[in-house]
Amino acid sequence: MKQTVSTIQQMKRDGKKIAMLTCYDYSTARLMDEAGVDVILVGDSLGNTILGYEDTISVTMEDMIHHSAAVARGAKNPLLICDMPFLSYQTSVYDAVVNAGRLMKEGRAQMVKLEGGQEVCPQIEAIVKASIPVCAHLGLTPQSVHAYGGYKVQGKTEAAAQKLLDDARAVEAAGASMVVLECVPEKLAQKVTELLEIPTIGIGAGAGCDGQVLVYQDMLGMFTDYVPKFVKQFANVGEVMKNAFAAYMDEVKNGSFPDESRSYKMDENVIEKLY
Ligand code: KIV
């Protein structure tokens, strides 16, 4: 079934959990589609997992469009969200609308995600007015890593928790259709979830959210540069890949790959006539 903003919002009203994963390429998108994943996020985490940057700061609009378009070709049923990269929306409301539009037109996204609360509400309002659904992102917002001085759990003090609640109310009032809560204490995420009508999607925010998101290389054990506490490895695909690469190397080196069954034949008469 094709997931849309309305079907995802209905899942919250029906008390059904929403399963979201990040994705950055066509063949993985096909697999997620076949597995029935509800929502795919082309996250700017591709800066870390695909491009090998230390953070998401250097990710460009071109990077996001390139990967979003590839995922869109493979994922027919999941709702497709694409991240707005650093400085593609913070600079002005105009930039935000133009860049959100590019992610839809060129990246074939069906919703855009941006980081921040009250400070980006003018951008959210304008993007929504342009008929582009928006997902907000609160709590630990990785594009602000240098302002925070590291990746830390957010909203632990009374003031920080109250600010997060106020931001959540503000992004909903500005027209956001969904909100991601990253690295937030579970009780606080639950309170936000109860307070809002739009779905909350948690990552390191406990079980009380309306849905969950994980970076797919994290949950498959393929990205081990840094493994946050909230990550569960549902399979060790990294190990499976390493073993397959090593087996391939052995067979190439010892000449057992390719064998007869994987080679093309031709008429012996033809080969004999060649000089
Ligand atoms: O970029 C990303 O993958 C994200 C998720 C961590 C929510 O924003």
109 and 192, same domain (yes or no): yes
**Ligand 1 atom 3: residue of nearest CA:** 43
Contacts of 162 (CB under 8 A, 6+ apart): none
267 & 131 share domain: no
Helix or strand holding residue 191 (H, E):
helix 186-195
Q: How far apart are CA 15 and CA 185, in angstroms?
A: 21
Tens of pLDDT, residue by residue over 24-40, are: 999 999 999 999 999 99
C-alpha 46 to ligand 1 mean position (Å): 9
Give the residues across from 181 on adjacent strands.
138, 202
Mean pLDDT confidence for 159-165: 98
User: Are residue 178 and residue 252 in the same domain, yes or no?
Assistant: no
Which tens digits make up the pLDDT trace of 129-148?
999 999 999 999 999 999 98
Closest C-alpha to 97, from 65, 131, 58, 63? 131
On whether both 60 and 110 belong to a single domain, the answer is yes
φ/ψ (deg, to 5) at 108: 60, 30
Look up residue 13 and give its two tokens. Answer: 């009203």
- Report whether residue 45 contacts ligand 1, using a CB cutoff of 6 Å: yes
Same domain, 32 and 134: yes
Instruction: Annotate 9-71 with three-state secondary structure.
Output: HHHHHCCCCEEEEECCCHHHHHHHHHHCCCEEEECCCHHHHCCCCCCCCCCCHHHHHHHHHHH
Q: In a mutational test of the pocket of ligand 1, which residue from 182, 200, 201 has the highest number of ligand atoms less than 8 Å from its CB? A: 182
From the CA of 41, how far away is ligand 1's center (Å)? Answer: 7
Ligand 1 pocket mutation, candidates 45, 84, 137, criterion most atoms within 8 A of CB: 45
- CB-ligand 1 contact for 48 (6 Å cutoff): no
Host domain of residue 101: 5-236
Residue 262 and residue 209 share a domain: no
Q: Is 272 a catalytic residue?
A: no
Threshold 0.85, pTM exceeds: yes
63 ligand 1 Cβ < 6 A: no
Choosing from 119, 158, 182, 194, the catalytic residue is: 182
Same domain (yes/no): 27, 71: yes
Is residue 131 located within the same domain as residue 50? yes
Atom of ligand 1 nearest to the CA of 22: 3
Give the position, in ligand 1's atom list, of the atom nearest the Cα of 115: 8
Total domains, the chain = 2
Residue 162 scores a pLDDT above 90? yes
Q: What is the pLDDT of residue 38?
A: 98
The pLDDT value recorded for residue 197 is 98
End-to-end CA distance of the chain: 60
Judge whether residue 21 has pLDDT over 90: yes
Choose which residue among 57, 135, 141, 180 to substitute to test ligand 1 binding: the one with the highest number of ligand atoms within 8 A of its C-beta: 180
**Cα(100)–Cα(106) distance, integer angstroms:** 10
The pLDDT value recorded for residue 149 is: 87
For residues 136 and 39, membership in a common domain is answered with yes
Which atom from ligand 1 is nearest to the alpha carbon of 43?
1
Q: Which residue, by CA, sits nearest to atom 2 of ligand 1? A: 43
Residue 257: CA count within 13 A, CB half-sphere: 9
Would you say residue 150 has pLDDT above 90? no
What mean pLDDT is reported for the chain?
97
Q: Could you tell me if 147 and 187 lie in one domain?
A: yes
Is the same domain home to 135 and 260?
A: no
Do 262 and 157 lie in a common domain? no
Rg (CA), the chain: 22
**Nearest CA to 69 among 95, 49, 46, 53?**
46
Ligand 1 near 22 CB (within 6 A): yes
Nearest CA to ligand 1 atom 8: 43
Q: Whose CA is nearest to atom 4 of ligand 1?
A: 43
CATH of the domain at 217: 3.20.20.60
